[in-house]
Amino acid sequence: MRALVVGNGAEMDSGFIGHRLRQHGYAFSELPRERPEEWPGLDGAELVLTLGSEWNVYRPETAALVEAEAALIRDVVTAGLPLIAICFGAQVLSHALGGTVTRTPDPEIGWFELAVDADVPAGGPWMEWHDDVFTVPEGFEELARTPVGPQLIRTRRVLASQFHPEATETMIARWLAEGGAEQLRSRSGDPDELLAQTRANVATSRHRAADLVDWFLSEQ
């Protein structure tokens, strides 16, 4: 089975979510966000996964690239393909389908518990790393939230999370090394403490991510 994965070229890491999808038999074709002119069509694709990014939906310098991804998402939804969207991917989805994305006065960086609807396998803690918040597009159900905003939304064919169920220790270490440590310190955070919390949480978050994928795929 073929899955299309949309992400920034240097950050095409689907982590625990990708690992579980591969266990379900999916093989990935990577679509770099920076080169939409090279993206293949949807023919033969059976699932689409859109990853996080340090970009913002509303940033002028990447507006054309965001609109290319938004158009792809609309095509995926119209075609009825299963879609999993993570963090920035979820924000682009909201933007593409009539929602809004704005900067939040309360950025979330670290491991957070969510308020989760019953029977949804999304109990935390989950890794969060975002400055923006999206609104729930029409036709979607909000399944999990924090005081900052929606954290998990879905239709039968689409699952979108503001949190990072894919996050591995290697991924968080890379984000810290690529400017995240400075960002965290600017908000009175401690990069070493975040890594320690990550080491303590990934053993169970790996299984929770697998459960989330299994739950979504069972509805397809």
Query: Residue 123: its pLDDT value, please?
Result: 87
Beta carbons within 10 angstroms of residue 210's beta carbon: 19
* Encoded tokens for 62: 């990447």
Active site residue 164: yes
Q: What pTM did the predictor assign? A: 0.97
Q: From the candidates 69, 113, 166, 207, which is the catalytic residue?
A: 166
What's the distance, Cα to Cα, between the start and end of the chain in Å? 14
Domains contained in the chain, CATH given: 2-168+206-218 (3.40.50.880)
Q: From the candidates 69, 87, 95, 130, which is the catalytic residue?
A: 87
The residue assigned the tokens 């859109």 is 50
The residue assigned the tokens 């503001």 is 162
The residue assigned the tokens 């597009």 is 137
Query: Residue 119: its pLDDT value, please?
Result: 87
Active site residue 166: yes
Active site residue 87: yes
Read off the amino acid at residue 53.
S
Answer for the pair 166, 17: CB distance below 8 angstroms, yes or no. yes
Q: What is the mean pLDDT of each run of 10 residues along the chain (220 residues)?
A: 96 97 98 97 97 96 97 98 98 98 96 93 94 98 97 97 98 95 91 96 96 95
> What is the rounded distance in angstroms from the CA atom of residue 164 to the CA atom of residue 151?
10
Answer for the pair 208, 56: CB distance below 8 angstroms, yes or no. no
Q: From the candidates 108, 113, 164, 193, which is the catalytic residue?
A: 164
